[in-house]
Structure 1
Amino acid sequence: MDAPVPELAARAARCAEPLRAANDLLLASHIDADGLTSAGIASTALERAGIAHDVVFEKQLDRDAVERYAAADYDTVFFTDFGSGQLDVITEYDAFTPVIADHHQPAEADIEYHLNPLLEGLDGGSELSGAGASYCIARALGAGRENVNNRNLAALAVVGAVGDMQVVEGELVGANAAIVAEGVDAGVLDASKDLAVFGTQTRPLPKLLAYASDVPIPGITGDRNGALRFLDGLDADLREDGEWKTWAALDTEERRTIVSALVQRAVRTGVDTSEVEALIGTTYTLLGEEPGSELRDASEFSTLLNATARYDRAAVGLAVCRGERGAPLDAARELLREHRRTLATGVNVVREVGVEREEHVQWFHAGDRLPETVVGIVAGMAMGEDGVDAGVPIIAFATKAGAEGSVDGNPDVKVSMRGTPRLVERGLDLSAVASEAAAAVGGDGGGHEVAAGATVPAGRESNFVAAADAAVGDQLNS
């Protein structure tokens, strides 16, 4: 049975060995969409292999969490979507055998059972996500077992990669692309060129176009009435029983009509040619899910999962990843509705507190008016707002809930940073910026090139901004 990512095949096979031999196994994972799909893939593969296990989720893997695992008498702990960056802490404990499937920058320590694309020269920010790393081990767990090759878990790995913002110029690349090919071959995934905007499965057409901000089109983006006028002016029947259709419900000719008109409008209103081309990208459809549902599209699926995790309901997201529907899916949908209400409030908060501009970055401080778990998403949304420069990285601060005091007894501050793929092409690496700027003020940071985060002591925000501004300037001007 061929490995999905040949470079990682030997590591995956080694990592599978202690998992098969475990008597008391704990699966520990991160809580974002990539972490939830990582756990879903791992848990499903373990169950299929007859390996009993418990599952826990963490917002952040730290010493306290590792100490809890060591004290709980597990002989093996399987870390997914984190662990590499905490190797120095994990290796201090010999109470359990650690197995790690991750894609973040490893710390300076070595363990025997460690799968990470960076260790084999693959890019963990764009070529393989945590879910992809878990998928490699899942395939190894299924090797040699009749009718259990775990290839049908490729669809979840794609959801994780999309949720981790690993789409490059409209499609997944590298090892992610190899996993896509496996999913297509297994009949669980379709990858085809289509309109590359969020909400094609669930949003009515006017809402779909008005909310599609990746490629802003004057008179349509952010303008519900403008989107209605645009659609009403097309020579196509886009309603059914008096209601606007979704994109997924359109036939090929209706889609072609809308795309052609969108391109013409974009060109006529001065949208850059490269941005016009970005209207079309590869979409990833989960063929086993109900058409018109959030689970049918990889991007919408990942958003649903993010909503469960960000409101401390990771178990709901895991249940959905493991194929449970009914009550878990209903709960996830309600959390998504709550999430959207929070985000709408968040954009208003940004308008009220205002965005400050430095030479190379811009920033805002939400204080305790936004949950730390959503401030990064709000920062990304704010980049489409009036008065916010979409071509400049944005930094968002929020007070960490329940954090211990730092400066003057105040809680620590959560930092979220967002850029754009175009800035990354110019040399932006927010992971390096977050790490450098946080270290300069006594905090800790990291992440990915296009999105990163940090925790810093309260009262040091202006120093963090200054350090980040200098670091971004160095990257973009080098």
Structure 2
Amino acid sequence: MAGPIPELEDCATRCATRLCAADRVLLASHIDADGLTSAAIAAQALERARIPFETVFEKQLDEDAIADIAATEYETVLFTDFGSGQLDIISEYEADSAFTPVIADHHQPATVDDDGESVRIETDYHLNPLLFGINGASELSGAGASYVLARALAAVADQQPDQPVATDGGTTTAARSDNRDLAALAVVGAVGDMQASGGELHGANAKIVAEGVDAGVLETGKDLALYGKQTRPLPKLLEYATDVHIPGISNDKNGALRFLDELDLELKRDGEWRRWAGLTNDEKQTVASALVKRAVSSGVPATKIDGLVSTAYVLPNEPVGTELRDASEFSTLLNATARYERADVGLGVCLGDRGDALERARKLLRDHRRNLSEGIDLVTQEGVTHEDTFQWFHADDRIRETIVGIVAGMAMGNQGISRSKPIIAFADKDDEHVKVSARGTHSLVREGLDLSIVVGEAARAVGGDGGGHDVAAGATVPKGAEAEFIERADEIIAEQLS
């Protein structure tokens, strides 16, 4: 059975063979949307392959977390959406025979210093697109790596189709023994990991999309590039649409209402505003055309207007008008669970629980949106400090460290907060440590920005550690080391963008 990404097939098969040889597996994953979908994909693939497993989640895979994993009785540990950046620690436990690691990740692999030269750490079961010339920040997410592994697991386990399988979310059947039905979750993870640059998924991600479409679990098409097309009433959809700022509509409640009232359409039913997902194609075209005309007449640059349309990724098996039908809204729902210590809820939703887990996730999402709004207001009102090459703010304990990076990214473009500079956010992690979150833009990355290197080197220079992707990264540093971190980060960014 050919896998979706030929370059990764041999490595994925090797990893799958090792998992199939294990008596049982400990599945450890990250807590964001990409991490949750990674875990859900891996969990279903392991279950279908009849491999007993237990799942644990970590906010950060640091030395303490790895030590706790090593203290378990599991001889095989599957790391999803992290592990590559911690190979220096993991490899020590592997050498001591504490456990055998199998890694499906897309972050920058750790290196060791060998006489002044950085040398990549070798391990037998390491599935990472970066090792095969595929960009892990824009072409394949952690969920994508897990999906490639899941496809290989199906082939290695030679699973029989249509056989009942007990899962954490209930009972399902393995009608698609090749695991292509898991492609939808992989796309949700990629979208949640901000990999839809230019309005669509590219590279290896696009191949997974194609498999999902063929399997009937995904639909794609050009649509308005606004968040909330499934769930937001039309006035709110337009009012909150700030990625492409349209004067008189964006951030303008009354302006959005006036704009809609001017359209010759039935935009209310039974006294309630309709939602974008419930409009006919002709109605959508009418609204979109009017938006473009308003943008043009308001002087919005043509390049920005082009951004009003993007590729939509729809999960057709989910009900219209729910968060689960749209990949972007699905990923936001997941972010609202594990970032508030309820990874079990997000995993349950991914595994098909449409009862208690979904209702709990929706409650967490409402709280999450309120916290994000309050955080963005705080940063916008207090402003940021501008260094030569980037801008930063310190939230102390006023913004949760698990969402401060999201707040930073969403605040870019607000008054006094530039989109032409990367932004770095600090928030208290505990009494002794500070969380650092950095966000950039794809245009800055094209100019040479790599925030994974920035935060990693700056954090290690002050006794911390970090990593991530070129466009988004994070770190943990000792409290009180922020000023030194800022100075070092400024130097590194200046070198990258010079």
TM-score by length of 1: 0.95
2:460 aligns with 439
Q: Following superposition of structure 1 onto structure 2, how do residues 270-281 of structure 1 map, counting pairs within 5 Å?
A: 270-281=299-310
Counterpart-to-counterpart distance in 2, 1:321 and 1:52:
19
**Contact 1:353-1:365 at 8 Å conserved across structures:** no
1:145 aligns with 159
- 1:451-474 per-position Cα deviation (integer Å, ceiling 9, x unaligned): 111112222222222222232233
CA gap of 1:425–1:233, structure 2 versus 1, over 3 A, is farther
2:138 aligns with 126
1:259 equivalenced with 2:271 (yes/no): no
What is the aligned counterpart of 2:262 among 227, 233, 241? 233
Shift in Å at residue 141 of structure 1? 1.2
Q: Which amino acid in the other structure matches residue 15 of structure 1?
A: C
- 1:394-437 per-position Cα deviation (integer Å, ceiling 9, x unaligned): 11111113x5xxxxxxx211111111222223322222221232
Unaligned runs of 5+ in 2: 111-119, 162-176
1:187 equivalenced with 2:216 (yes/no): yes
1:61 equivalenced with 2:56 (yes/no): no
Q: Which amino acid in the other structure matches residue 217 of structure 2?
A: V
Counterpart-to-counterpart distance in 2, 1:392 and 1:206:
31
Q: Which amino acid in the other structure matches residue 150 of structure 2?
A: A
1:14 equivalenced with 2:28 (yes/no): no
Provide the secondary structure at the position in 2 that maps to 1:228.
helix
Counterpart-to-counterpart distance in 1, 2:209 and 2:400:
34
1:408 aligns with none
Counterpart-to-counterpart distance in 2, 1:63 and 1:299:
33
1:136 aligns with 148
Higher deviation after alignment, 117-126 or 422-431: 422-431
What is the aligned counterpart of 2:334 among 287, 302, 305? 305
Counterpart-to-counterpart distance in 1, 2:486 and 2:290:
42
Counterpart-to-counterpart distance in 1, 2:244 and 2:382:
26
1:407 aligns with none
**Contact 1:353-1:366 at 8 Å conserved across structures:** no
What is the aligned counterpart of 1:111 among 115, 123, 129? 123
Counterpart-to-counterpart distance in 2, 1:353 and 1:124:
35
1:99 aligns with 102
Counterpart-to-counterpart distance in 1, 2:2 and 2:370:
45
Q: Following superposition of structure 1 onto structure 2, how do residues 334-373 of structure 1 map, counting pairs within 5 Å?
A: 334-373=363-402
Shift in Å at residue 233 of structure 1? 1.2
TM-score by length of 2: 0.92
Identical residues among aligned pairs (%): 64
- 1:87-108 per-position Cα deviation (integer Å, ceiling 9, x unaligned): 1211212122211100111123
1:286 equivalenced with 2:315 (yes/no): yes
Shift in Å at residue 112 of structure 1? 1.0
Counterpart-to-counterpart distance in 2, 1:358 and 1:235:
49
Provide the secondary structure at the position in 2 that maps to 1:455.
strand
- 1:319-367 per-position Cα deviation (integer Å, ceiling 9, x unaligned): 1111111000001111101111111221232244331122221111111
Q: Which runs of 4+ in 1 moved over 3 A?
A: none
- 1:208-238 per-position Cα deviation (integer Å, ceiling 9, x unaligned): 1111111111111111111111111122221
1:419 aligns with 440
1:87 aligns with 87
Higher deviation after alignment, 262-271 or 306-315: 262-271
Q: Which amino acid in the other structure matches residue 416 of structure 1?
A: S
1:49 equivalenced with 2:70 (yes/no): no
1:202 aligns with 231
1:163 aligns with 192
Counterpart-to-counterpart distance in 2, 1:376 and 1:119:
27
Counterpart-to-counterpart distance in 1, 2:292 and 2:491:
38
**Contact 2:462-2:484 at 8 Å conserved across structures:** yes
Counterpart-to-counterpart distance in 1, 2:19 and 2:398:
43
Shift in Å at residue 387 of structure 1? 1.9
Counterpart-to-counterpart distance in 1, 2:78 and 2:138:
23
Provide the secondary structure at the position in 2 that maps to 1:282.
strand
Shift in Å at residue 135 of structure 1? 0.4
Length, aligned pairs only: 469
Counterpart-to-counterpart distance in 2, 1:368 and 1:204:
33
Higher deviation after alignment, 300-309 or 447-456: 447-456
Provide the secondary structure at the position in 1 that maps to 2:486.
helix
Q: Which amino acid in the other structure matches residue 322 of structure 1?
A: L
**Contact 1:4-1:179 at 8 Å conserved across structures:** yes
Q: Which amino acid in the other structure matches residue 413 of structure 1?
A: V
CA gap of 1:123–1:141, structure 2 versus 1, over 3 A, is same
**Contact 1:304-1:336 at 8 Å conserved across structures:** yes
**Contact 1:139-1:149 at 8 Å conserved across structures:** yes
Unaligned runs of 5+ in 1: 404-410
Provide the secondary structure at the position in 2 that maps to 1:142.
helix
Counterpart-to-counterpart distance in 1, 2:382 and 2:457:
26
Higher deviation after alignment, 339-348 or 273-282: 339-348
Provide the secondary structure at the position in 2 that maps to 1:416.
strand
Counterpart-to-counterpart distance in 2, 1:258 and 1:469:
44
Counterpart-to-counterpart distance in 1, 2:200 and 2:259:
28
**Contact 1:127-1:173 at 8 Å conserved across structures:** yes
Counterpart-to-counterpart distance in 1, 2:293 and 2:492:
39
Counterpart-to-counterpart distance in 1, 2:220 and 2:45:
24
Q: Which amino acid in the other structure matches residue 158 of structure 1?
A: V
CA RMSD of aligned residues (A): 1.3
1:473 aligns with 494
**Contact 1:212-1:221 at 8 Å conserved across structures:** yes
